[in-house]
Structure 1
């Protein structure tokens, strides 16, 4: 029996849990992973120099749970660095990254293990649900993402998979693929961008499990999506890494340039248009920097520009038309106040209906927020 397999014959799964400042939620996370007694799952929890009681909670669990190994970092490495530290100590054939404030719904772990054993993919994509305060659960299914195509498959067979959530937590990956490609998490915010897209492009076998196997906690505080900071400029480095991976592939990934470019523009528009992310004094500079990326990475053959207001925003960004964009944003915010008197006016740039690489219309995928 391979060291990467259990006595059940299933591939061994390493669940890497980065932990920082989540004392109130950590036991829920750990219990959801360890609830099922099985020898084919190990948990590598990384205490990322957490300032609260997370380290003590992990040590208490590890004292009674041999499947849990704890890594204590002496200095905060950030989410990407903590995941890398856990990956270094993982021994399973597959790795699943689960954030310390999220959790797995009942039956999810068994479903994932069964699917990995049945199809042995390079990457298994799973559905997730967002859980808001008050326990309001909003599923984010991948329905229609495959268009009826059988799996496992390669990304070239279903490039629309790039439009699913940019989250490492919804991708269970063969650890050998990470070793073969040298793919690691980069430092900085939006670290999932430079991990998730190159991962799918590198995979020869992608499978999709259309079942909610991950609960993503939407906290009112602590998320970068509701944090005003100049650190949102770090998203530019993440997309630079994505296109560097495309450039380094000697043409093999060129087919994905139009879709990656469209996703990048969508993401930049979400960030620049949201009151909760950028300080007002930084908005013009972010817009200008995003316009530079548009000029730098515009695919030689163009890309499918969305229609309507979304398409207008794309064109304004590419032309660095900040004044016109700001006027359009002001009109949008005014209309929002009229429709919702006294309500919030935070704008998230509307995502266009997905368009295939050929430019013809297709069935829209479910909208997944870009974080």
Structure 2
């Protein structure tokens, strides 16, 4: 570790780092480059070298030299994204914390905008908007971005229940550190680690700030992304949702929250099981069976509002544990989709986890939540 903090900053930015040598400098410079002296004094960057196998550790130490606001935490073994975030959080001294992934970056002006909003509203959680950035530079608005519009000041989730459907990642939320500690929330190991972390923040917050401004660039299509990696580790999603449901059982009394979370969970599972790039065909039946088991276990006593169209039909097939019917429907839907005209360039793909209701909503290739499309989430 280098550089000890001399004062408590307003904001600590925690950046876990592993195998991103080609992207790391862009990420670091997007955070600290161009800040005024006053702004830089309010920011602390805590970078965690998660036993990166490339030159990332060396790059971090070089970048920290002469920059007192940069601190490097070096781990002796690779622990994965969630636990690396925890290691950075343990060293962070800021009043607020923002988890930024090291293959992503902040657009110009994002950090001063966030700092100003934190000072003005003093939220428990500040939601920020983002753009997906594809190879070649194509920008894509997220399907949940419209949910961030029209909020002035701070609200509670009961005032704006649709905020529960905002992309449920850690990196689009700036969190008051004391609030995080009050909830005793930390990240768990495994893929889909944002699931039991992100939702409780919004559910428990008394003051949710909403910044309808693009403050994050989310890189798409990088080699090693979990959203395009076939692996049995996608089954980690079930463990993470079980953790979320356990938290909900202890802390949530509002039936509408349980109902909404249930629908989001099933939508998310259908996104994963329907994606050829994630679940190998030989594992698809087993994954579907696990979805059906969670459907039965967590179905709200009063039922829930299924989505319409093909998405709703898939929900019904999950409820019946009808894998063969699902497989037939999926095949027919894929064939029909291949015959449709291509979407206009730049159009946002429907995202089931953020409330998309079109026919592709529960079988979209667009990542949701915690499908954080990064090898960071799958390393270890």
TM-score (norm. length: structure 1): 0.88
Q: Which residue of 2 aligns with 1:153?
A: 155
- Mark the CA change 1:369 to 1:159 in structure 2 (over 3 Å): closer, same or farther: farther
1:333 deviates by 2.0
Equivalent residue runs for 1:249-260 within 5 Å: 249=251, 251-260=252-261
Q: Which consecutive residues of structure 2, in runs of 5 or more, have no partner in the other structure?
A: 1-5, 343-348, 358-364, 372-380
Q: Which residue of 1 aligns with 2:13?
A: 15
> Could you tell me how far apart the structure 2 residues matched to 1:327 and 1:151 are?
48
1:156 deviates by 1.5
Cα displacement string for residues 216-262 of structure 1 (whole angstroms, at most 9, x for unaligned residues)? 1113411111000111000001111111111111x434430111001
**Root-mean-square deviation (Å):** 2.3
1:350 deviates by 6.9
* Residues 272 and 283, structure 1, Cα contact 8 Å, conserved in 2: yes
Cα displacement string for residues 84-138 of structure 1 (whole angstroms, at most 9, x for unaligned residues)? 0000000000000001111100000000000000000000000001111111111
Where relative contact order (Cα < 8 A, 6+ residues apart) is larger, the structure is 2
- Mark the CA change 1:266 to 1:138 in structure 2 (over 3 Å): closer, same or farther: same
Equivalent residue runs for 1:166-185 within 5 Å: 166-185=168-187
Equivalent residue runs for 1:174-253 within 5 Å: 174-249=176-251, 251-253=252-254
Asked if residue 288 in structure 1 is aligned to residue 289 in structure 2, the reply is: yes
Q: Which residue of 1 aligns with 2:55?
A: 53
> Could you tell me how far apart the structure 1 residues matched to 2:289 and 2:350 are?
17
> Could you tell me how far apart the structure 2 residues matched to 1:39 and 1:270 are?
42
- Mark the CA change 1:4 to 1:311 in structure 2 (over 3 Å): closer, same or farther: farther
- Mark the CA change 1:194 to 1:154 in structure 2 (over 3 Å): closer, same or farther: same
> Could you tell me how far apart the structure 1 residues matched to 2:351 and 2:213 are?
26
Asked if residue 330 in structure 1 is aligned to residue 328 in structure 2, the reply is: no
- Mark the CA change 1:288 to 1:272 in structure 2 (over 3 Å): closer, same or farther: same
- Mark the CA change 1:355 to 1:218 in structure 2 (over 3 Å): closer, same or farther: closer
1:151 deviates by 3.2
3-state SS of 1:293 partner: helix
